[in-house]
């Protein structure tokens, strides 16, 4: 069995659609292929006052309803899976919280993923200095990684 992980950003519908389409295309014809859809709810950046991040940057409430956000994201992923991934290929949906590239690499290990497919925006100067998530996943993953451009 070959497991595929489509890591998508729910905030970018166009790029996410391309990632899911590419993943299904790659899995089609592979006996027993399973496609997992994954997204990561970003963690609060270290060094930022949590109250500020919750009210300002993350558009949450003072209660920091992380589980509610994860549940909503899982529902969105399942809608995408039901619409775009053939039933026999659906492996499941995964929503994690934290650093995007770390969570993707860890999920790939946990699920015995053989191939990760993820999107990437056109790099900016900061990306060359810091490394975008897709580059970090490709560097640290123990499997093949395909990067889909917008």
What pLDDT, on the 0 to 100 scale, is given for residue 125? Answer: 53
Element (H, E) at 12: none
pLDDT in tens, 46-97: 545 555 554 445 554 455 677 888 999 999 999 999 999 999 999 999 999 9
Cα 110 versus chain centre, distance: 15
Binning pLDDT at 50, 70 and 90, where does residue 134 land? confident
Q: How many domains does the chain fold into?
A: 1
- Determine the straight-line distance between the first and last CA of the chain, rounded to whole angstroms: 29
- Residues spanned by the domain of 43: 3-149
CATH number for the domain that contains residue 56 = 3.40.50.620
Strand partners, 95: 39
pLDDT in tens, 102-113: 999 999 999 999
């Amino acid at each position: 069995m070959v497991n595929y992980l489509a890591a998508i950003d729910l905030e970018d519908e166009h790029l996410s659609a391309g990632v899911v389409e590419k993943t299904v295309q790659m899995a089609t014809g592979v006996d027993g292929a399973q496609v997992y859809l994954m997204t990561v709810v970003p963690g609060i950046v270290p060094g930022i006052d949590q109250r500020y991040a919750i009210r300002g940057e993350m558009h949450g409430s003072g209660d920091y309803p992380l589980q509610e956000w994860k549940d909503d994201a899982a529902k969105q992923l399942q809608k995408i899976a039901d619409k775009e991934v053939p039933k026999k290929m659906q492996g499941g949906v995964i929503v994690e919280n934290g650093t995007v590239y770390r969570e993707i690499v860890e999920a790939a290990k946990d699920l015995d993923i053989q191939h990760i497919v993820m999107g990437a925006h056109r790099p900016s100067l900061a990306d060359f200095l810091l490394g975008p998530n897709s580059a970090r996943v490709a560097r640290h993953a123990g499997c093949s990684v395909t990067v889909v451009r917008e």
